Amino acid sequence: MAVTAEQVAQWMLDEVRNKGILHQEEATQYIASRFGESFLYVNDNGNLSIGKDVKKAFRKLHKGRAAWERDGFFWGWS
């Protein structure tokens, strides 16, 4: 069965909920190894980033309860 963006987003939500924080680098490494690189892309700065479809699903799931910390490159539970 194919993995969906929603399943990847659910993993992200579970991580933030359980640990209180999810670093971008940790997330991209785990997503690549567990779900596949199709859920990632290289952004304009040349960094590996989480796909827009996953981030959209993640926003829908967390409903504003997770915040992106731009300076630290992580999501935190708020």
- Residues 12-27: pLDDT tens digits? 999 999 999 999 999 9
How many structural domains does the chain have? 1
Q: What single letter denotes the amino acid at residue 60?
A: K
1 pLDDT band, cuts 50/70/90, is confident
Distance between CA atoms of 78 and 75, rounded to whole angstroms? 9
Residue range 45-55: average pLDDT? 95
Q: Is residue 50 part of a domain?
A: yes
**Contact indicator for 75, 20 with CB cutoff of 8 Å:** no
Q: Is residue 52 part of a domain?
A: yes
| Domain span including residue 37 | 19-64
| Higher local confidence (pLDDT), 5 or 45 | 5
